[in-house]
Structure 1
Amino acid sequence: MIFDSSEKRIAVVGDIHGFWTWVDTEYFSKSNYDSVIFTGDLGNVRPGSANKIAQLISKVRKPKYIILGNHDTTSIPQLLMEITNASPNIGYLSHIFHLLRYKKLLKDLGDTHICQYNLSEAGQGISILGSRPLSMGGRFNFQLFIKSLFGISSYEESEKKLHELIQGIDFQKQDLIILAHNGPSGLGDKAYDIWGCDFKKEEGDFGDKDLGNFIRTISKQGKKPKVVIAGHMHHSSRKLRVKTRIWKRKEEGILYLNPARVPRIFSDKEGNIWHHHVELTRKNGVWDAEAKYLKNGVEEIFSLPEFIEREKNRVELKD
């Protein structure tokens, strides 16, 4: 079998947090993208906001892939318990309602592929590995939920599961895309780094250890993923008001993407409305990505405002 080196064009949408309209639904439906990938965090703190966004996403007339974020299906008390490192057993009753919210969100997402500890085909020659859902960094998040659905309760078990999922992949014939909500560890400990911490004075690496260790191990085995996509750590770092977070990094043949430009819908001084996403492409077997901005619902060739041009070019290429 000859490896499929045909061109691919995939839209990647970062953490939405309520910033999605019918403009997006129609744009992606009518676009020439092969598929659309979402990094999760659909809603905001308002109850039911994620479900409304999910219903709009379900109407996108393209193959769709999503990993759920820490704001998807969770409650404010649950999030507070994670932030304060409370014992997971405290929230058992909350966990029961969590499962109900989870089932409702999956229903509202319709035919969207839910990527979580599974492997999905995304066209000939491409596989998407869904990693641990609901991750918010810092520790192994939402233990009751993850254990009840997947039987996994530690970083070690999570990493082992990821290894099991890729056993059947022929890396000579398949390009592997890893989809996570929070990114892998090992890619920098500064606030401006792709998954660096921007809310602590000491900054630090806020990537997930299970995902980082998994990627490093399989890379040494000659099983490198082509692309790793994750959000959670938003662009426009609080510590760098002039510079924005690095959103694209290429290192040792792996393309890392953080498309979480929040808010992804925003206005400029002239009152123009901009919608952000990332265009992921494969040409002649090489993967690359470019930040895209719709201006008043239209993608065209136009000069970008200085602050958008600056964030668009905030990348780090090491090979």
Structure 2
Amino acid sequence: MTSQKTHKQLKIAVVGDIHDQWEAADGIALQQLGVDLVLFVGDFGNESVEVVRAIASLDIPKAAVFGNHDAWYTATDWGRKKCPYNREQEDWVQQQIDLFGENHVGYQKRDFPELGLSVVGSRPFSWGGTTWKNASFYKERFGVTNFAESTALMVAAAESAHHNNIIFLGHNGPFGLGDRAEDPCGKDWQPLGGDFGDPDLAAAIAQTRAAGKNIPLVTFGHMHHKLRHTQQMRKAITVTEGTVYLNAASVPRIVQIGSDRQRNFSLVDLQGAVVTQVSLVWINQNYKIASEQVLYQENNSLMQTV
């Protein structure tokens, strides 16, 4: 009799752009959902150290990258002019990085032996697009000066990963998922249209796949689901070459509905190297699922967009 290797089905929560919307109830909700891993796509707030501190204390396996808002007062000239603290005495960007420690995977990887997978982080603090932005910030903080060097750091992290199953975690998604405003990384401000994905992440994914790694999931945020010009919803899921690309930026992620306070999470079911289902769930104040929208099922492909 031939034995078959079985893989435990994992439940992964992806938390979209937080923008200061994180409460103690979020941690309780994740515990109630029974997730095996939590992935944070960044934009915790405008260098919101206390939000990061609260999330860093969460007692669930996790990985995170930082978004453009997480270096809001540091990465750009105009941001530094608005900085509310003395940058000669404090460094809120570094404080956030230090708080997450090994859970910050920007340009790095974290192995999860108990889950049989590794999470590789893309370029942290990304603003998106095909122009290399914030050059001095990236040179000083990470020693990179262009997209090619950025790609090389991601590929090196993937090559050093202990597991063959790789999840890429980014703030912004990769270039190549479409150039319409409603696509996962489509530009929804004037002039409308254009692919605002990160080319360095796209190259890193391609090179990692060519090296023989399995990439069941690439998840990110940044480009909010609600389109600016129509208030309709963008496409949250794309599937290509066996990889599910998930934009998890359902913003705002906490809403008040009458007397009920609800919060959303994207849930990914992963069986080995295969994503079997993705859904967007809203959890009520009693920690029950108030609504669930299935975005993807393995056998039915795309169900619907948010």
Which TM-score band applies after superposition, normalised by the shorter structure?
0.7 to 0.9
Q: Alpha carbons of 1:58 and 1:159: their partners in 2 closer, same or farther (altered >3 Å)?
A: closer
Q: Match of 2:193, as an amino acid? A: E
8 Å Cα contact 1:192/1:246 also seen in 2: yes
TM-score (norm 2): 0.83
> Following superposition of structure 1 onto structure 2, how do residues 85-234 of structure 1 map, counting pairs within 5 Å?
100-107=91-98, 109=99, 113-124=103-114, 125-138=116-129, 139-169=131-161, 174-234=164-224
TM-score (norm 1): 0.80
Cα RMSD for the two superposed structures: 3.2
The Cα offsets for residues 135-156 of structure 1, whole Å up to 9 and x where unpaired, read as 0113223322222232211001
> Following superposition of structure 1 onto structure 2, how do residues 1-319 of structure 1 map, counting pairs within 5 Å?
5-44=7-46, 50-75=48-73, 78=76, 80=78, 100-107=91-98, 109=99, 113-124=103-114, 125-138=116-129, 139-169=131-161, 174-241=164-231, 243-268=232-257, 270-283=258-271, 285-287=273-275, 288-300=277-289, 302=290, 304=291, 313=295, 317=301
Task: Please list every run of 5 or more consecutive structure 2 residues that lacks an aligned counterpart in the other structure.
Answer: none
8 Å Cα contact 2:159/2:208 also seen in 1: no
Distance, in Å, in 2 between the alignment partners of 1:231 and 1:180 is 7
Cα distance, 1:257 vs structure 2: 1.0
8 Å Cα contact 2:10/2:270 also seen in 1: yes
Q: Match of 1:163, as an amino acid? A: V
Q: Alpha carbons of 1:99 and 1:160: their partners in 2 closer, same or farther (altered >3 Å)?
A: farther
Cα distance, 1:57 vs structure 2: 0.9
Cα distance, 1:294 vs structure 2: 0.5
Q: Alpha carbons of 1:257 and 1:80: their partners in 2 closer, same or farther (altered >3 Å)?
A: farther
Distance, in Å, in 2 between the alignment partners of 1:165 and 1:110 is 18
Task: Please list every run of 5 or more consecutive structure 1 residues that lacks an aligned counterpart in the other structure.
Answer: 83-89
The Cα offsets for residues 17-61 of structure 1, whole Å up to 9 and x where unpaired, read as 0111111122224542112110011014xxx6x112112212311
Q: Secondary structure at the match of 2:29?
A: helix
Q: Match of 1:130, as an amino acid? A: G
Cα distance, 1:97 vs structure 2: 5.3
Distance, in Å, in 2 between the alignment partners of 1:57 and 1:272 is 23
Q: Match of 2:248, as an amino acid? A: P
Q: Secondary structure at the match of 2:63?
A: strand
Distance, in Å, in 1 between the alignment partners of 2:244 and 2:151 is 20
Q: Secondary structure at the match of 1:121?
A: strand
* Percent of aligned pairs with the same amino acid: 29
Distance, in Å, in 1 between the alignment partners of 2:69 and 2:43 is 5
Cα distance, 1:285 vs structure 2: 4.3
Distance, in Å, in 2 between the alignment partners of 1:235 and 1:259 is 8
Q: Alpha carbons of 1:7 and 1:101: their partners in 2 closer, same or farther (altered >3 Å)?
A: same
**Number of residue-to-residue matches in the alignment:** 292
8 Å Cα contact 1:39/1:68 also seen in 2: yes
